[in-house]
Structure 1
């Protein structure tokens, strides 16, 4: 959905990526809260070491490849994306720091998904430093997020504030954390049999926005319905216990997701140069970019499994509080906890 929203060239598809990212934020809030309680016991040294190993090596791999590409083909890169135009040394240093990329208005970014990664790290800080310890703390985060979104709506702030402001993500991460606590209390049990109907409802809300429903619906009612359905979907998936081949596929798709997310602008640029024009957009182009992104992701996942995952498994072998039930279904593994 993210790649389609970036490369389809039709404004209609823009919110597909927005809605998908928000559901991922809910999943991440759930998985990270579960990991903090059931895997790391709020041992922040182990937690942050594993987060850094999960996020940063592949990020810097794509960053360096993007920098080499932009320097080698500056005119073509600038045609493909204005975010790759006219780099300077200060720009490169800010991209290396990653966290400045949280400001979406920043004009030059080597790895376009860096905004989402920086927001994730900020949310990890909030959850790990206390807001995921108790349900009441997660409720406080949720209440603050609701107030933030209400103020942006009442103040008639533009869409960018409601979506791209880093603290807007608190809503979905808080929802994910609350799903974890409510499941523990049997208050948010959703049968895995609801996965398909919920997926259909989620897709209908996304596809209908901007087509059957207005653009205003996309940015307001549909946006928040997306989070509501996403929360139910995460709860349902958490109740799923795949076995055998299903479990293997579930885990492997989880391992491909982050690399594909990271590399898709580079993959799209390669497809544009090879088969289209440097400024190519369109659904055919987007589909080709998805296939190439997945192919590159397979290689990146293999490198990650060879060099990074052994270190992460060593860190995870520290003392556990309980046998984490949510790891049985691949949710934590897929989210890279």
Structure 2
């Protein structure tokens, strides 16, 4: 069910970008933070169980996972922006007024973790760059031992405490790259906690936790204030997300259901990457270039999923065979644990 959850999180991001009402903004913020917890768990497990910290193979596999599809969307978006500059500028301010420096920053990707770079060919470039930075933290040692992951978690708590009480506020709490250490350290700690204790979160809790997460997300800015959505609700999102990841680690699906869930998970990253480009095509064809709103979103989401199917097919044909070859050559210290398999660690 982790694959279905990743796809749901991607759809929540699309809703936050296209919904048109400021109310939907935090839907994407919350979704990205839960994904960081998932990723922290999966990468910590992969480093320990699949790669044994053999970093050359780990980084090669991560690069193949993230970069080919990123550059595919980047080049397609660049061609669109150059061909239709007025229309694309109306669709997104992030596509207005490109120059050569902007292009190289987008091409290098890592500089995009700074939100100060306004021109973004691929809207999720920020979160991808931050994710790579978090991989580096885990590789440097925070994924090796529970005590190290606890140190990272303590530093993350200190960072977020400062953002609550100083003037930096929401911008630092969410957009500062170091804020992501909270989610990644929580994911790493879930891995070590599960390995070292018999305490489990029952998979029966998955549905109640998911409903609680949706209620917390929907309630902020509606039943509860915008301030709640950006403070108490934001941190409750991480608590619920952590429990949900721990429960998913206990899920033991049938082979058929695991295959379906795995395929849904494979659509999540392409949909996340391509939704702005797919949304622009929908706007240009059926709406206005600056279209937003629920009606537009209900068309843009299926369009994004159609493009994601195409991208996932290309990925399975050309990229995944290379990644499997790299994984087979890794110095595996032990078979991936059942909880790691449940969250797709074997394919990390």
Cα displacement (A) at 1:170: 0.2
Report the Cα distance in structure 2 between the residues aligned to 1:115 and 1:234, rounded to whole angstroms.
23
User: In the alignment, is residue 323 of structure 1 matched against residue 335 of structure 2?
Assistant: yes
Q: Does structure 1 retain, via aligned residues, the 8 Å contact 2:42–2:340?
A: no
RMSD: 1.0
Report the Cα distance in structure 1 between the residues aligned to 2:131 and 2:307, rounded to whole angstroms.
23
Cα displacement (A) at 1:187: 5.7
User: In the alignment, is residue 139 of structure 1 matched against residue 150 of structure 2?
Assistant: yes
With over 3 angstroms needed to count, the CA separation of the structure-2 counterparts of 1:168 and 1:330, relative to structure 1, is closer
Matches within 5 A, 1:1-337: 1-186=12-197, 189-318=200-329, 319-325=331-337, 326-332=339-345, 337=348
Q: Which moved more, 1:284-293 or 1:62-71?
A: 284-293
Helix, strand or coil: the match of 1:62? Answer: helix
**Structure 1 stretches of 5 or more lacking a match?**
none
Report the Cα distance in structure 2 between the residues aligned to 1:305 and 1:158, rounded to whole angstroms.
42
Report the Cα distance in structure 1 between the residues aligned to 2:86 and 2:251, rounded to whole angstroms.
49
Report the Cα distance in structure 1 between the residues aligned to 2:14 and 2:243, rounded to whole angstroms.
24
Helix, strand or coil: the match of 2:52? Answer: coil
Q: Does structure 2 retain, via aligned residues, the 8 Å contact 1:238–1:331?
A: no
Report the Cα distance in structure 2 between the residues aligned to 1:199 and 1:289, rounded to whole angstroms.
24
Helix, strand or coil: the match of 1:41? Answer: coil
Q: Does structure 2 retain, via aligned residues, the 8 Å contact 1:241–1:328?
A: no
Helix, strand or coil: the match of 1:104? Answer: coil
Report the Cα distance in structure 2 between the residues aligned to 1:158 and 1:66, rounded to whole angstroms.
33
TM-score (norm 1): 0.98
With over 3 angstroms needed to count, the CA separation of the structure-2 counterparts of 1:204 and 1:328, relative to structure 1, is same
Could you give the per-residue CA deviations for residues 255-288 of structure 1, whole angstroms, max 9, x where no partner exists? 1000000000000000000000000000111111
Q: Does structure 2 retain, via aligned residues, the 8 Å contact 1:272–1:279?
A: yes
Q: Does structure 2 retain, via aligned residues, the 8 Å contact 1:188–1:235?
A: no
Could you give the per-residue CA deviations for residues 62-117 of structure 1, whole angstroms, max 9, x where no partner exists? 00000000000000000000000010111101100001100112111100100000
Helix, strand or coil: the match of 2:116? Answer: coil
Q: Does structure 2 retain, via aligned residues, the 8 Å contact 1:195–1:233?
A: yes
Report the Cα distance in structure 1 between the residues aligned to 2:80 and 2:261, rounded to whole angstroms.
33
Aligned to 2:6: none
Q: Does structure 2 retain, via aligned residues, the 8 Å contact 1:189–1:236?
A: yes
TM-score (norm 2): 0.95
**Structure 2 stretches of 5 or more lacking a match?**
1-11
Report the Cα distance in structure 2 between the residues aligned to 1:128 and 1:283, rounded to whole angstroms.
41
Report the Cα distance in structure 2 between the residues aligned to 1:242 and 1:228, rounded to whole angstroms.
25
